[in-house]
Structure 1
Amino acid sequence: MPMASKLGNSAFTPMRLGPLTLKNRFIKAATFEGRMPRGEVTNDLIDFHTEVAEGGAAMTTVAYCAISPGGRVHRDTIVLDRRRAAALRRLTDAVHARDTLVCAQIGHAGLVANTRSNRVRTLAPSTRFSAPAMGLVRGATTAQLDEVIDDFGVAARNAVEAGFDAVELHLGHGYLLSSFFSPNLNKRKDRFGGDTVRRAELARRVIERVRAETGDTVAVTAKFNMDDGVRGGFWLTDSLPTARLLESDGYLDALELTGGSSLLNPMYYFRGEVPMAEFIASQPAAVGLGLRLIGRRLFREYPFEEAFFLPLARQFREALSMPLILLGGVNTMATVSAALADGFEFVAMARALLRDPALVNEFRSGSAREGLCVHCTKCMATIFGGTRCVLRDESPSQTVGHATHV
């Protein structure tokens, strides 16, 4: 059998992820769904994930579940407390009924939190101005960080109660734990700041607590920044040693490799043309005016390339023995085959499944070798009213046979 054919077949063979067995190598990456007004679980949110499940992915990821009110990105973010856990049971049951597993991404937004929307203060490693917070964010005290660790444990326990099969810790994109890794955001002089090892201390303590709370029946993974895409930020010289520390601790079942900063350089992990006109149209007039004036400076533009994180991710595959999940511009069966050939256990897809949630089934049947996503990034501006592919909205036939899509 030709090598390409063997690799294509292996994409649809089961693979272990900690205590779980995934039916294939495809994971729906966390993509903020924009379907939880005031942080409530809605039918639209459930439909979003059951559609992905029906489309063939082995596991879908609910994003983003905050560990506390202050850890929300904004007021329309789920806080994974006991009440929401009970409501999320409807979602996990619906996904399981489609023979698919489901993961809860949990985290604290830190400097990325919109404090005016949340009406609660947020936290940072060190005091600094944050544009999303619209003001100065104070460096956290050690007592506050102890509370963060406790809150992660509670959220993880609630995820188990809600029926999730896996918990993904958000260690990327400038969120709180990611910001502690960063030498240009973390200027602390205590045990949580300084060299690479001390800057990893908070994340390591969080991961240990989460594993203690979830036990050995739930997979624990982490979305982990390889590169902040920011001068003086977290880069391979720090991220590779940090990943080795996380592997040596033995609490994680896999790393999903990412990069970029929602605080300072968000297009680094999207890649493609900045949908500035759509962003402006989706915002209140005052915010829209601000984007007209300085938007191009806030959103740097990077050309799209298939599997754009693969060169960085190969450094981690060489350095680590633990399972790795490749993320970033996966849109073709050839990319999936190349990732498996390079030793990655899974691939995570986001925009490709927004465009066509049934793509995994189409890959399996051979009816498609490439997704329909054209990498226009216009989906980015839809998160305020229900994350979706704007091209798919113009193609009613795409929704036939699937759950309701908004």
Structure 2
Amino acid sequence: MNEVFAPATLGPISLRNRVIKAATFEGRTPDALVTDELIAFHREVAAGGVGMTTVAYCAVAPNGRTDRHQLWMRPEAVPGLRRLTEAVHAEGAAASAQLGHAGPVANAVSNGGPAYAPSRMISPLTMRAMKVPDEAELREVVRAHALAARLAAEAGFDAVEIHFGHNYLASAFLNPLLNRRTDRYGGSLTNRSRLAREIACAVREAVGDGLAVTAKLNMEDGVAGGLTIPESLQVAVWLEADGALDALELTAGSSLLNPMLLFHGAAPRRSFAKVLPIPARWGFRLAGRAFLKEYPYEPGYLLERARHFRRELSMPLILLGGITDHETMRQAMSEGFDFVAMGRALLREPNLLQRIQADTATRSACVHCNECMPTIYTRTRCVFRPEQPGERLDYPAVTAARQNGTR
């Protein structure tokens, strides 16, 4: 059994432990460049004890952002990213850059460029038709991932994580409901997985053995007609055989169609209704309950799905979902998972891992209310942890906690 707090190897790099800060979009790049706030966010998490922190989201192209405020990888971004990696390294942690193209999750109006979708569809964000990229444009997407990976290496990152989840572009191509193409990138699973596999190989070729290369892969989309566990498992087998990746981080759900499958816990419908951009806000008021479903929270809630992958794959796997205490971490290690990833719990308590290491009975203060989700449109944060004096937090979970005398 792997020891959670022992040093570990991930491809060509060494980490001080087996806990990774999962990618959670920070909302701290208003000009699509690194800010002091973004650096402080990751420095705090690194100082809190994680082995590696993941910067999200580093789009590979301007139209690959979910909106114009997101960082995208170009030479102008490198100096700020280098300051960020230096700050993380100074705290003893490694730094990973999450690379990807938002595809149908992108807001074309905000970005000023076309949103890509595998097949013809209307964007739920803008109510406009999205662009179906041809094969030449897809080759450019692959090339953009490779260039972004090189820039990440130049900026001092130790690893890159390729986004193959949540129906972002590569994930949308895997989804047979969204991908109805008849060319080399559609139809059979072999064809639908082509884009992801080409991206992984291009990124590996770009960075060689200098960086660890991981990918966040959907185990299932959680949507009728979408990607299923058996299909995803076959894709994972192919990715392992290609030899481009050092590890897979296993996830689930669709930012377009079923985001709560990733999060579990309370569905923050009222809060989302207040902050979504128009016209998405109008649609959400009509279909919010169907869009934000509720899945009961329990520790390690994606573990049962992930076990299918652990049984069939020999490559390192990163378990995500409900990793908030030492007991769940130890269970993951005992079942053969090489790393665990934490997200929301570190928004509430950036030093949670230090506290767990000092006392393995420590429990996270995260209440799984998911009110952090709507804050991505301002600055991603736990609503129980104001970061500015006098900040007014008008969220249902906070109101309830005040009424119950727990805050």
Report the TM range for the smaller structure's normalisation: over 0.9
Deviations 1:77-105 (A, max 9, x none): 10111111222111001001111100000
Residue 358 (str. 1) matches residue 351 (str. 2): yes
How far off its partner does 1:162 sit? 0.8
Give the superposition deviation at 1:380: 0.6
In structure 2, distance between residues paired with 1:332 and 1:29:
15
Aligned residue in 2 for 1:383: 376
Q: Which residue of 2 aligns with 1:92?
A: 85
Contact 1:112 1:133 in 2 (8 A): no
Letter in 2 for 1:14: P
Pick one of 90, 104, 107 that aligns with 2:100. 107
Give the corresponding residue for 1:252: 245
| Match for residue 40 of structure 1 among 22, 33, 54 | 33
How far did 1:136 drift?
1.4
CA contact under 8 A between 1:114 and 1:134: conserved in structure 2?
A: no
Q: Does 1:137 find its partner at 2:126?
A: no
How many angstroms apart in 2 are the aligned matches of 1:288 and 1:123? 21
Partner of 1:136: helix, strand, or coil? coil
1:278 correspondence with 2:278: no
Kindly state the Cα deviation for residue 37 of structure 1 after the two structures are TM-superposed: 0.3
Matches within 5 A, 1:107-186: 107-186=100-179
- Rounded Cα–Cα distance in structure 2 between residues aligned with 1:194 and 1:87: 42
Q: Using the TM superposition, name which of 362-371 and 136-145 deviates more.
A: 362-371
Count the aligned residue pairs.
389
CA contact 1:379–1:387 (8 Å) conserved in 2: yes
The one of 42, 64, 75 aligned to 1:71: 64
- Which whole-Å CA distance do the structure 1 matches of 2:384 and 2:159 have between them? 31
Match of 1:73, SS? Answer: coil
**Do residues 234 (structure 1) and 227 (structure 2) align?**
yes
- Cα root mean square deviation, aligned: 1.6
User: What is the distance in 2 between the residues matched to 1:110 and 1:286?
Assistant: 19
Which runs of 5 or more residues in structure 2 are unaligned?
390-407
Alpha-carbon distance in structure 1 between the residues aligned to 2:117 and 2:285: 28
Question: Which shifted more, 277-286 or 317-326?
Answer: 277-286
Residues 283-302 of structure 1 deviation map (CA, whole Å, 9 limit, x = unaligned)? 46765454333322222222
Alignment of 1:284-299 (within 5 A): 288-299=281-292
Amino acid at match of 1:363: I
Aligned partner letter, 2:184: R
Partner of 2:193: 200
SS of structure 2 residue aligned to 1:242: helix
Counterpart pick for 1:222 among 197, 215, 218: 215
Query: Contact (CA 8 Å) 1:307, 1:330: kept in 2 or not?
Result: yes
Q: Is the 8 A contact 2:17 2:51 kept in 1?
A: yes
Q: Distance in 2 between matches of 1:44 and 1:255?
A: 29
Q: Distance in 2 between matches of 1:286 and 1:263?
A: 15
Any idea what SS the aligned residue of 1:302 has? coil
Answering whether residue 302 of structure 2 is matched by residue 309 of structure 1, we say yes
Contact 1:132 1:263 in 2 (8 A): no
Deviation at 1:128, TM superposition (A): 1.4
The letter of the residue matching 1:253 is: D
CA distance, structure 1, for counterparts of residue 227 and residue 298 of structure 2: 22
Conserved in 2, the CA contact under 8 Å of 1:334 and 1:369? no
C-alpha spacing 1:241/1:133, structure 2 compared with 1 (3 Å) = farther
Which range moves more in the overlay, 41-50 or 282-291? 282-291
Amino acid at match of 1:102: A
Change in CA separation of 1:395 and 1:127 when aligned onto 2, cut-off 3 Å: closer
| Cross-structure match for 2:204 | 211
User: Could you say which residue in structure 2 is the equivalent of 1:392?
Assistant: 385
* CA contact 1:95–1:102 (8 Å) conserved in 2: yes
With the length of structure 1 as denominator, give the TM-score of the two structures.
0.93
Q: Encode CA deviations 1:18-56: one digit per residue, 9 max, x unaligned.
A: 001111010000000011103121111000000000000
% identical aligned pairs? 51
- Please list every run of 5 or more consecutive structure 1 residues that lacks an aligned counterpart in the other structure: 1-5, 397-406
Q: Does 1:333 align with 2:347?
A: no
* Cα pair 2:127 2:279 within 8 Å, conserved: no
Contact 1:111 1:133 in 2 (8 A): no
